[in-house]
Structure 1
Amino acid sequence: MAFFSVIIPLYNKEAYIQQTIDSILNQSFTDFELIIVDDASTDDSLVLAKKYTSEKIIFIEHAKNKGLAATRNTGIKQASSSYITFLDADDYWKPNFLQTIHELITGFPEARIFATNYEESWKENTRIPHNCAAKLGKNFKGYIDFFSLNLGQGIYCHGSVCFHKEVYEKIGLYNEHIEFSEDIDLNIRANFHFKLAYSAKREMRYAMAISNQITRNSILNKSIPDYSLYANWEKHSITFKKYLDFERYVLAKKLKKSKDHRWKRIAKQIKLKNINWKQRLLLQAPVFVYTIVDSLKYLLLKFGIKATTY
């Protein structure tokens, strides 16, 4: 049995899938199986993936498109390892990602979630995310409180985290009824019940603004997480309540930008002192302001400046 099960959910990524597979096969830690789950791609993604003949690779094909959550769940059910990790078909691991995760597993035995920092890839440019990893120091390695350190961009992304199978046995799999932010929903459940061991090293590259990314399309009328399910958890933890209000802000802003009126219901659940003044201002701003802000952010990116409300 391999030490890691690595899962690639694949859907229409013919321009990127080979780089993604190469980054996995070129890992310095080599004890893994690679499970590629094709979600009924309509381009040559699967054809290109099947050019690889490594014995490490297992292919699974959905007869019809089921969505990202279901595709990840298919991979989890197939996985033979106790340690399960993911890489989307347009992202990239640096050569020591699995080695770093393995060091966290052996060094921090109380944890069941293991993650590293990451960097963003904007076409030819690379940027550092606006998350709280900088507070830890670039060489940090240890246990962290996910909810207190996740009030900005994610402290990890879903291509830089590994879950022990005990996590899924306790909290269940991805909610297949959620079409947007299903990873946030799982992160909430997982980190509430299990410890997280973290490395501040940026061992993964997260592709930004790529076409056909399920997670970056408009969320108009898509099913979204119901954060009210965690109301009892909020009552007993100020830190958890603040984190959940931040996620509500992020979700409400995206809904408003898509002209989806559900943003009003989400916004009413936010304790405003739990978000900063910039976030409060944006939450109340008209939609045209969002367009102006986004245009300004992309312009600044061209000059190497990454602006954020976090």
Structure 2
Amino acid sequence: MFFSIVIPLYNRPQEINELLNTLTQQTYMQFEVLVIEDGSVKDAGAVIDKYANALDLHYYVKPNAGQGFARNYGFERAKGDYFVVFDSDCLIPKDYLETVRDYLFEHKLDAYGGPDAAHQSFTPVQKAISYAMTSPFTTGGIRGNAKHLGQFHPRSFNMGVSREVWEKVGGYILTRLGEDIEYSIRIHEAGFKIGLIPAAKVYHKRRTSFAQFYKQLHFFGRARINIYKHFPKELKLVHFFPAVFTCGFFFTLLINIFYWPLAFVCNFLMLVYFMLIFFHSWQVNKSLKVAFLSIIAAFIQLFAYGLGFMQDLIKRVVLNRQ
């Protein structure tokens, strides 16, 4: 089996350097790498040159059109039996491709996704963010999990599609705002089989600061409504949880001002929730600092997602604006 690894890139030469370095260490080497420079100001040309002899590496520079269409650009030029998509801020374990190959030989999947985790080299903030995005006490618990709810939708930081899927379904029709979920829904509807490969994890850096994380999660909340506009049945009750949390937070602030007896109950429930996050993160990460930062990360995840979700729900659905 020959893999084509497609990586869209925008102004992140240092990230692609670290990702490519992990690919040189793969235990299964039947693959090519296509890096699509999507209109970057800070290009990665010098970094690509470093790996020209170490990898079957192809570098393309194109005008900016967004990550979804950059992946399509790579798919059009890929030679593999399977197209693997990574985000540029991922580190790939050395047995990743071997794990995927072995799994696909035993289980026929037309498309797959894998989970993400925090690498030991990550900063405490990055580990806290990773925890928030994978925790069973946040919406992260329904992603990259063998017991996910409903259909499994691979995420583009770690997913793959067969050449047959590309030839019959095509690529992304959205370039951002939930493009990976929209794509996997169309793959499902075309009758292809999608599944999770639990052992095919990547180390996903995500964002290096809470401010960047806030912007990303606000964007994710908006993306969920964008998916709803295309596929109304894909908006599930669980997707409202961050919005409920956000409204509950504002309600708690107000009730603390106007009615203390009820405020005590709200404050207690909020405290219990964040203590659960603290102790679970402490158990997972073995670090008090990361556990404390996980409370902040979880709050940002739910609050930012909830705001973005409600913003576009009101604008696009209630007010019926595009």
Category of TM-score, reference length = shorter chain: 0.5 to 0.7
Q: How does 1:83-232 map to 2 (within 5 A)?
A: 83-109=82-108, 111-120=109-118, 123-124=123-124, 126=127, 127-128=130-131, 129-130=134-135, 131-132=141-142, 136=146, 147-148=149-150, 157-176=155-174, 178-192=175-189, 193-201=191-199, 203-210=201-208, 216=216, 219=219, 225-231=226-232
Deviation of residue 147 (structure 1)? 5.0
- 1:184–1:120 Cα change, 3 Å: farther
1:282 aligns with 2:249: no
Q: Distance in 1 between matches of 2:36 and 2:144?
A: 34
Q: Distance in 2 between matches of 1:44 and 1:172?
A: 28
Q: Distance in 2 between matches of 1:134 and 1:114?
A: 11
Q: Distance in 1 between matches of 2:252 and 2:44?
A: 37
Match of 1:43 in 2: 42
Deviation of residue 247 (structure 1)? 7.4
Whichever structure has more helix as a proportion of its residues is: 2
- 1:249–1:217 Cα change, 3 Å: closer
Deviation of residue 246 (structure 1)? 4.9
1:21 aligns with 2:20: yes
Match of 2:78 in 1: 79
Whether the 8 Å CA contact 1:119–1:202 is kept in 2: the answer is: no
Whether the 8 Å CA contact 1:105–1:114 is kept in 2: the answer is: no
Q: Which amino acid aligns with 2:289?
A: F
1:249 aligns with 2:240: yes
Q: CA RMSD, aligned part only?
A: 3.9
**CA offset digits 1:154-205 (Å, max 9, x no partner):** 7x542322111222333331124x5322112112222343222333226211
Match of 1:6 in 2: 5
- 1:9–1:247 Cα change, 3 Å: farther
Q: Which amino acid aligns with 2:150?
A: S
Match of 1:275 in 2: none
**CA offset digits 1:36-84 (Å, max 9, x no partner):** 111121114232223221350011110x211111111101111111200
Gaps of 5+ in 1: 137-143, 235-240, 254-278
Q: How does 1:262-281 map to 2 (within 5 A)?
A: 280-281=244-245
Match of 1:304 in 2: 290
Identity across aligned pairs (percent)? 18
Q: Distance in 2 between matches of 1:59 and 1:287?
A: 51
Match of 1:259 in 2: none
- 1:217–1:48 Cα change, 3 Å: farther
Q: Which amino acid aligns with 1:216?
A: Q
Secondary structure in 2 aligned to 1:50?
A: helix
Whether the 8 Å CA contact 1:83–1:164 is kept in 2: the answer is: yes
Deviation of residue 102 (structure 1)? 0.4
- 1:95–1:36 Cα change, 3 Å: same
Q: Distance in 2 between matches of 1:230 and 1:158?
A: 19
Q: Distance in 1 between matches of 2:74 and 2:247?
A: 37
Secondary structure in 1 aligned to 2:4?
A: strand
Q: Distance in 1 between matches of 2:182 and 2:238?
A: 10
Q: Distance in 2 between matches of 1:170 and 1:148?
A: 24
Secondary structure in 2 aligned to 1:201?
A: coil
Whether the 8 Å CA contact 1:104–1:197 is kept in 2: the answer is: no
TM-score, with normalisation over the residues of structure 2? 0.64
Q: Distance in 1 between matches of 2:41 and 2:64?
A: 10
Q: Which amino acid aligns with 2:185?
A: I
Secondary structure in 2 aligned to 1:86?
A: strand
Whether the 8 Å CA contact 2:177–2:219 is kept in 1: the answer is: yes
- 1:285–1:9 Cα change, 3 Å: same
- 1:71–1:135 Cα change, 3 Å: closer
Aligned residues: 252
Secondary structure in 2 aligned to 1:15?
A: helix
